């Protein structure tokens, strides 16, 4: 994943010379120290609030809540065997495999249409699709709670006018994941459409013209020029959406009553519930570690396979 070109001349070795000549030893030492001073604030914070909590949770997860003794992976076994956690994992898995392709196709199609020459008023449309992304998840969940209810929904009123009777959204428990996916799509897709159209706009016009002169149709330009260029953004998008869904909590937590969602509906809700209702903090730490490991492994494999985020140096 990280391929660093070692043939690149090392700047540090070459830079300090003129200073050393002019200012002597202390200046040289200052230059050597400088990069460490520059990187220190970030890495100290990262150590304290990412690596630290991770390691502390790992340590906690290996100890018993009752006796406080080291019990190995027993907490993990308890979680994996817990029926509530299993169904929570099932829900999330369903959301991931339904949403990832759907999100990708929807975003790509909308972006390609917005990038095409057809249609009017597209910069306004782009802005409107983007709007939900700017709304805090708490507020958007609240507004959706009302739009799931037939008496106040802007969708029920349209369907009603089209002749539908007794519109009820997501009333069955099996349809609940779709209610959550709906909010995730509504909230996040506009931002990705924005990024996709920005990268489509970056495609050199000569390349598209050349392909057209060679006889390529609109569809084959999309397939052979535009989609390959979008691929890295789509990878990034899948990672981001997947980790959002894997750690889903805000939306289902706030919709608990409106849609009668169980308190342990997603793995993160399960972890929250076990730590705050049952005070089983070591078990909660194990659940958090499980989520962290699964989502990070997924992201790392995806990035590694696709080869984005390569560390290639330029002198």
Contact set for another protein, span 13-52 (CB under 8 A): 13, 15, 18-19, 22, 27, 30-32, 34-39, 41-43, 45-46, 48-50, 52
Bridge partners, 63 (sequence order): 70
Binding positions for another protein, 265-294, rule CB under 8 A: 268, 271-272, 275, 281, 284-285, 287-289, 291-292
Cα separation values, 18 from 10, 24, 297, Å: 16, 10, 46
61: exposed, middle or buried (Cβ count in 10 Å: 0-12, 13-18, 19+): buried
User: 135 to 164, contacts with another protein by CB under 8 A?
Assistant: 135-140, 142-147, 149, 151-158
Residue in 24, 56, 73, 231 binding another protein, rule: CB under 8 A: 56
Site for another protein in 172-231 (CB under 8 A): 186, 190-191, 194-195, 197-199, 202
83 burial class (0-12, 13-18, 19+ CB within 10 angstroms)? exposed
Is the CB of 48 or the CB of 105 nearer to another protein?
Answer: 48
Specify the residue, 208 or 229, whose C-beta has the smaller distance to another protein: 229
Q: Are 94 and 101 in contact (CB under 8 A)?
A: no
Q: DSSP secondary-structure letter at 259?
A: T
By beta-carbon proximity to another protein, the closer residue of 177 and 200 is 200
Nearer to another protein among residue 210 and residue 300 (C-beta): 300
**Rounded to whole angstroms, how far apart are CA atoms 128 and 140?**
15
Query: Taking CB under 8 A as the criterion, which residues in 71-130 touch another protein?
Result: 110, 113-114, 116, 118-122, 125, 127-130
Which strand (E) or helix (H) includes residue 113?
helix 83-115
CB of 81 to another protein, least distance (A): 20
Minimum Å distance from CB 77 to another protein? 19
Closer residue to another protein, CB minimum distance, 23 or 223: 23
Q: Which residues lie closer than 8 Å to 231 by C-beta, 6 or more apart?
A: 306
DSSP string, 31-99: HHHHHHHHHHHHHHHHIIIIIHHHHHHHHHHTB-TTT--B-TTHHHHHHHH-HHHHHHHHHHHHHHHHH
Task: Give me the least distance between CB of 262 and another protein, in Å please.
Answer: 11
Task: Mark residues 227-266: x for contact with another protein by CB under 8 A, - for none.
Answer: -----xx--x--x---xx-xx-xx--xxxxxx----x---
- Smallest gap, in angstroms, from Cβ of residue 176 to another protein? 15
CA–CA separation, 68 vs 53, rounded Å?
Answer: 18
User: Smallest gap, in angstroms, from Cβ of residue 17 to another protein?
Assistant: 10
If the CB atoms of residues 157 and 175 are measured against another protein, the closer one turns out to be 157
Reading the block at residue 240, the tokens are 């981001």
Nearest approach, Cβ of 264 to another protein (angstroms)?
12
Task: Tell me how far, at minimum, the Cβ of 46 lies from another protein, in Å.
Answer: 5
Q: Please select the residue that binds another protein; options are 28, 159, 167, 303, rule is CB under 8 A.
A: 303
Q: What is the size of the binding site for another protein (CB under 8 A)?
A: 125
Of 158 and 210, nearer to another protein (C-beta) is 158
Compute the C-alpha angle 215/219/225, nearest 5°: 80
Residues 313 and 6: beta-carbon distance below 8 Å: no
């Amino acid at each position: 994943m990280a391929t660093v070109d070692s043939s690149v001349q090392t700047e540090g070795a070459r830079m300090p010379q003129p200073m050393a000549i002019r200012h002597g030893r202390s200046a040289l030492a200052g230059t050597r120290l400088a990069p460490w001073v520059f990187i220190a604030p970030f890495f100290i914070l990262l150590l304290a609030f990412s690596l630290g909590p991770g390691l502390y949770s790992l340590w906690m997860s290996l100890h018993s809540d009752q006796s406080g003794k080291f019990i190995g992976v027993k907490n993990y076994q308890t979680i994996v065997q817990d029926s509530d956690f299993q169904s929570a994992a099932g829900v999330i898995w369903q959301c991931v495999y339904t949403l990832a392709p759907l999100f990708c196709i929807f975003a790509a199609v909308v972006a390609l249409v917005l990038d095409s020459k057809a249609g009017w008023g597209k910069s306004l449309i782009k802005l409107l699709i983007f709007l939900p992304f700017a709304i805090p998840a708490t507020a958007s969940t609240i507004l959706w709670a009302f739009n799931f209810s037939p008496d106040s929904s802007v969708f029920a009123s349209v369907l009603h006018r089209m002749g539908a009777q007794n519109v009820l959204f997501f009333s069955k428990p099996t349809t609940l994941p779709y209610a959550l996916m709906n909010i995730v799509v509504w909230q996040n897709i506009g931002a990705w459409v924005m990024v996709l159209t920005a990268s489509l706009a970056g495609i050199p016009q000569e390349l598209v013209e050349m392909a057209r002169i060679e006889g390529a149709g609109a569809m084959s330009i999309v397939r052979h020029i535009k989609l390959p260029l979008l691929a890295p953004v789509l990878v990034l998008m899948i990672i981001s959406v997947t980790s959002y869904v894997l750690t889903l909590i805000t939306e289902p937590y706030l919709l608990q009553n409106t849609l009668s969602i169980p308190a342990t509906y997603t793995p993160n809700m399960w972890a929250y519930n076990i730590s705050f209702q049952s005070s089983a903090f070591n078990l909660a730490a194990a659940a958090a570690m499980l989520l962290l490991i699964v989502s990070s492994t997924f992201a790392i494999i995806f990035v590694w396979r696709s080869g984005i985020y390569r560390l290639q140096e330029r002198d």
